[in-house]
Amino acid sequence: MATENKNLSEYDKNSVPDARNFRFGIVVAEWNETITEGLYNGAFAALIENQVPAQNIIRWNVPGSFELIYGAKKMLQTQNVDAVIVIGCVIQGQTKHFDFVCEGVTQGIKDLNVQTDIPVIFCVLTDNTMQQSIDRSGGIHGNKGTEAAIAAIKMAFIRQQAS
Ligand code: DLZ
């Protein structure tokens, strides 16, 4: 439930800041598309539920999770957003590719958070099986996209208050 924004030191962790004037970018990987669409739908619905106008939500697609870094960087540079959410799903296979993609995207998004002023929220599932990803993208373990959207609102608010 959105409440009137207070300053940072008064903030209650259980409430979600007023998000109606924020703009969000969402970068979505096309690999494991059924999962990333579920995560996107959860994130989009949570932003709308918190009064973010639909036209303030900018979605871009990229091929795979590794490309989320570049997609987020260009989103930050060109779209005047208050926070970016990156959405991907990497599932363990027979080769070491899983480790390289997970390591690359995690470090890349971390670097963006260190180097730029706009928060980038990490919504990349790194699971052993497809079922684990199904369970976390709108299944029995909820939707990590929803959690990412709430994190994005909170971080946009922190940036605004700390500017
Ligand atoms: C190549 C690859 C593999 C094997 N697995 C996944 C995956 O599970 N999830 C994902 O998002 N992307 C995967 N990719 C694609 C890489 O992220 C990337 O798109 C390619 O290596 C091209 O840079």
Q: What is the pLDDT of residues 45-86, one digit of tens each?
A: 999 999 999 999 999 999 999 999 999 999 999 999 999 999
Per-residue pLDDT at 94: 74
pTM: 0.94
Q: How confident is the model over 126-146, as a mean pLDDT?
A: 97
Distance in angstroms (rounded) separating the CA atoms of residues 35 and 71: 19
Confidence category of residue 17, pLDDT binned at 50, 70, 90 = very high
CA angle 27, 102, 106 (to 5 degrees): 65
The tokens describing 72, both together, are 């987020």
Q: Is the CB of 29 within 6 Å of ligand 1? A: yes
Query: Cα torsion at 147, 149, 36, 72 (round to 10°)?
Result: -130
Selection from 16, 51, 39 nearest residue 85 by Cα: 39
> How much is the average pLDDT of 142-149?
98
- Domain presence at residue 47: yes
Domain membership flag for residue 63? yes
pLDDT band at 93 (very low <50, low <70, confident <90, very high): confident
21 - beta bridge partners?
Answer: none
Residue 129 belongs to a domain? yes
Domain-located, residue 1: no
Q: Nearest 5°: phi and psi at 30?
A: -85, -20
Catalytic sites, residue numbers? 97
Residue 4 included in any domain: no
CA–centroid distance, residue 148 to ligand 1 (Å): 21
Residue nearest to atom 16 of ligand 1 (CA): 64
Q: Is 19 a member of any domain?
A: no
**Which residue's structure tokens are 């363990």?**
92
Sorting pLDDT into bands at 50, 70 and 90, what band is 5? Answer: low
What is the Cα–Cα distance from 143 to 60, expressed in whole angstroms?
A: 20
In the reported structure, the alpha carbon of residue 60 is separated from the centroid of ligand 1 by a whole-number distance in angstroms of: 17
Q: Is 47 helix (H, G, I), strand (E, B) or coil?
A: helix
Measured CA to CA in angstroms, residue 2 lies from 16, 103, 125, 129, 144 at distances of 5, 35, 27, 36, 20
Instruction: Please tell me what DSSP assigns to residue 93.
Output: -
What CATH number is given to the structural domain containing 46?
3.40.50.960
Closest residue to atom 13 of ligand 1, CA basis = 64
110-120 confidence digits (pLDDT tens) = 999 999 999 99
Q: Which long-range contacts (CB under 8 A, 24 or more apart) does 98-103 make?
A: 98/126, 101/64, 101/65, 101/66, 102/65, 102/126
User: Does the structure show a pLDDT above 70 at 3?
Assistant: no
Please tell me if the CB atom of residue 101 comes closer than 6 angstroms to any atom of ligand 1.
yes
Mean pLDDT of 154-163: 95
- Give pLDDT tens digits for 35-46: 999 999 999 999
Quote the number of domains for the chain: 1
Answer yes or no: is 10 within a domain.
Answer: no
Binding site membership: which residues? 31, 65-67, 89-91, 94-95, 122, 136
pLDDT: which is higher, 18 or 8: 18
Range of the domain at 51: 28-161
State residue 6's pLDDT score. 64
Please enumerate, by residue number, every residue annotated as part of a binding site for 5-amino-6-(D-ribitylamino)uracil.
31, 65-67, 89-91, 122
Domain membership flag for residue 5: no
